[in-house]
Structure 1
Amino acid sequence: MLYASASPYDKRAAFRAELATGRLLRFPGAFNPLSAKLIQNKGFEGVYVSGAVLSADLGLPDIGLTTLTEVAGRSAQIARMTELPTIVDADTGFGEPMNVARTVQTLEDAGLAGLHIEDQVNPKRCGHLDGKQVVDENTALKRIRAAVDARRDPNFLIMARTDIRAVDGLDAAVDRAKKLADAGADAIFPEAMASLAEFEAIRAAVDVPLLANMTEFGKSELFTVNQLADVGMNIVIFPVSLLRLAMGAAERGLDTIINEGSLTSILPEMQHRADLYELLDYKAYSEFDSDIFNFTIDPHVAVQA
């Protein structure tokens, strides 16, 4: 009932233990707290909070318009609803290295299990848009060192994302991944890889966990979980998938109202009221409410009008 029973510290420790097994962990993207509960109920290993989704949730494009306050607030609402570890997209850290340090501590306080900081220029662009620019090596490494130095919980995962593949090619991505790991990154997120062979090249270069981004309509082919596991990936995210599915269904529903005058024909496509109530655990709330407010009147005590 209400929020997760596990503390952020416990979730981080459990996440680190799962990562240490070497098996591939699946982190679908939650677009709100309710979808995070659904991800947990379906048996996934973690929850991802996408910067693109947070921007879209505000009706904004993913071009660096969101603030640390907005990201921390929304990701805290999502993380507290699930027993699963939650990783958040922290863009470029929202400024210079000192801002990166503040970002890490703010997101620690928000209950996240980890974050990733990227090497794009600030303001950034969606990782699968053309025209991205990346910062120089020194700046990229300073961001990661600042993040590592700032964390207070050693189990809080500092992941370095590099977008350099789309700018300078695979060799540059391999080189930067090595240096980001040497700078203290706990994991590497190589963005917009073009093939499984490219993921394999990054895997051969570093010995820290690797994340694969399986976002639809982007630069990367949509490889299966098994394919990614076979080339040594440790985490796979589906960052915007649930939002895309939900918005597609919403658009079809609105069109049905326009064309048919009611939603009767697509009732089978909707989540049933009973399923929603089960997901929200209405029963536990009702029992709690009854225990608190249940009372009897002593028949020997006069009741005044």
Structure 2
Amino acid sequence: MQKSEFKKRLSDGAPLLLPGVANPLAARVAQDVGFEALYVTGAGVANTELGLPDIGILNLTDMANVVERISGVVDLPLVVDADTGYGNSVNCYHAVRRLEAAGAAVIQLEDQVFPKRCGHFEGKEVVPAAEMIGKIRAACDARRSEDTLIMGRTDACATEGYESAIERAALYAEAGADILFIEAMTDEAQLRDAPSRNDRPHLVNVVHGGKTPALPAEEFGNMGYRLVLYANAALQASVAGMQHVLHGLHTDGSLCKVSDRLAGFPERQRMVRTPEWDALRQHYEGGQSS
């Protein structure tokens, strides 16, 4: 799916499932099982690349480097979490230019104060709506392609209440946001209401163990959501898998009891396309003429 197709997909068909990925291998796995687009998660990159929580430590260079590496190994649209834009509106302008060049199809900006916190953490704060509006306007002006989309996220539901979040979403749409994301709604009635309050495509974020009810994607689609995000599913699965296997190895000094949790050697090589690279080497080196 290309950028232009992604844009069209927001208005047609079933809601688009977005798995969160934090590195090229996770992106390869997600593409291999059939997902149509991917979400490059700031929390996942902070956890995976830095071993740190999602509390605003990740910077633009960290994120752009990961996006560039992921876009180099998959051909799917990337929805990229740009946190608060890494500064003021001018920093946000630069961030959009940098992330778009790295391969982002959609760039998500949020209205938390810096340093931000994971959307499902306590203790969040939001900036004045006018400040976020300036960032969205800067983001829209910065993009070089009309197919690059800007997503406006608000965390105001937890800090100012649901109606304030709805009002902010409307202001962000008016400023140019192509997609709206009201984070961490906890009430099912609000989840049903939110997409009906604005005609822009809406995203809902489902976090295992988080604040938003984990309804089936089909039900979210019936509510009017066009994007259903599972930002941390792959990350949480990888943590659980590593804990299980490494605990078994540490306890038994062997992988015998946990081998069913391991990808086989051939599968691992298939996932990183070793046969394709071997064939490429053979093509250039095996047929050399004297």
What is the aligned partner in structure 1 of residue 197 from structure 2? 205
Counterpart selection for 2:8 from 17, 25, 33 = 17
Q: Distance in 2 between matches of 1:70 and 1:261?
A: 36
Give structure 2 stretches of 5+ with no counterpart. Answer: none
Name which one, 1 or 2, has greater alpha-carbon Rg. 1
Name the amino acid aligned to 1:35: A
Q: Map 1:140-159; keep pairs closer than 5 Å.
A: 140-159=132-151
- Counterpart residue number, 2:161: 169
Decide which moves more: 30-39 or 276-285. Answer: 276-285
CA 1:230/1:296 → structure 2, altered by over 3 Å: closer, same or farther? closer
The root-mean-square deviation of aligned C-alpha atoms, in Å, is 1.4
Provide the rounded CA distance (Å) in 1 between the counterparts of 2:141 and 2:288.
58
Equivalent pair of 1:196/1:231 in contact (CA under 8 Å)? no
Task: Tell me the SS of whatever aligns to 1:133.
Answer: coil
Match of 2:286 in 1: 294
Inter-partner Cα distance in structure 2 for 1:212 and 1:80: 27
Question: How far did residue 295 of structure 1 move?
Answer: 4.5
Q: Which runs of 5+ in 1 are unaligned?
A: 1-9, 299-305
2-structure distance, mates of 1:163, 1:22: 28
TM-score (ref. length: structure 2): 0.96
Distance in 2 (alpha carbons) for counterparts of 1:185 and 1:17? 16
Counterpart position of 1:41: 32
Residue identity in the other structure for 1:37: R
How big is each residue's C-alpha offset from its partner over 1:49-96, in whole Å with a ceiling of 9 and x where there is no partner?
111111112111111111101110012111222121111110000000
Over residues 121-141 of structure 1, what are the superposed CA-to-partner deviations in whole Å (9 max), with x where a residue is unaligned? Answer: 111111111111001111111
Cα deviation per residue 1:153-194 (whole Å; 9 max; x = unaligned)? Answer: 111110000000001111111111111111110000110011
CA distance in 1, matches of 2:182, 2:18: 16
Deviations along 1:258-301, one digit per CA (max 9) or x if unpaired, are: 22110111111111112122222222212211111115787xxx
- Match for residue 28 of structure 1 among 19, 24, 34: 19
8 Å CA contact 1:196–1:228 kept in 2: the answer is no
**Which runs of structure 2 are paired with 1:118-133 in the superposition (5 Å)?**
118-133=110-125
- Counterpart of 2:42 in structure 1 is 51
Supply the distance in 2 between the matched residues of 1:18 and 1:225 (Cα, whole angstroms).
16
State the SS of the aligned residue for 1:287.
helix
Query: For the residues of structure 1 that align with 2:161 and 2:180, how far apart are their CA atoms?
Result: 17
> Residues 143, 169 of structure 1: CA spacing in aligned structure 2 closer, same or farther, 3 A cutoff?
same
Residues 263, 148 of structure 1: alpha-carbon distance in 2 compared, 3 angstrom cutoff: same
Match of 1:105 among 87, 97, 100: 97
In the TM superposition, what is the alpha-carbon distance from 1:11 to its structure 2 partner? 2.3
Q: Is the 8 A contact 1:93 1:143 kept in 2?
A: yes
Change (3 A) 1:103 1:265: same
In the alignment, the residues of structure 1 paired with residue 222 and residue 289 of structure 2 have an alpha-carbon distance, to the nearest angstrom, of 67
Separation in structure 2 between the aligned mates of residue 152 and residue 186 of structure 1, nearest angstrom:
15
Structure 1 segments of 4 or more deviating over 4 A? Answer: 295-298
Amino acid at match of 1:281: R
2:249 is matched with which residue? Answer: 257
Q: Which moved more, 1:230-239 or 1:271-280?
A: 271-280
Q: 2:87 aligns with which of 78, 92, 95?
A: 95
Aligned equivalent of 1:269, options 247, 261, 276? 261
User: Secondary structure of 2:79's match?
Assistant: strand
Amino acid at match of 2:27: A
Q: 1:69 aligns with which of 58, 61, 76?
A: 61
After the TM superposition, which residues 238-253 of structure 1 pair with which residues of structure 2 at under 5 Å, given as runs? 238-253=230-245
- Residues 213 and 239 in structure 1, CA contact (< 8 A), matched pair in contact too: yes
Counterpart contact for 2:196–2:224, Cα < 8 Å: no
Stretch of structure 1 that moved more, 273-282 or 49-58 = 273-282
Measured in 2, the distance between the counterparts of 1:120 and 1:297 equals 62
Give the secondary-structure state (helix, strand or coil) at the position aligned to 1:211: strand
Distance 1:22 1:98 in 2: 37
| Aligned-partner Cα distance in 2 for 1:223–1:285 | 41
Counterpart code for 1:158: I
Distance 1:46 1:86 in 2: 6
Aligned to 2:206: 214
Conserved? CA contact 1:55–1:65, under 8 Å: yes
Say which is worse superposed, 112-121 or 10-19, in terms of deviation.
10-19
Do the aligned residues in 1 keep the contact of 2:22 with 2:66 (CA within 8 Å)? no
Please give the alpha-carbon distance, in whole angstroms, between the structure 2 residues aligned to 1:12 and 1:80. 15
2:196 and 2:287 mapped to 1: Cα distance?
Answer: 67
Query: 2:27·2:74 contact (CA, 8 Å) conserved in 1?
Result: yes
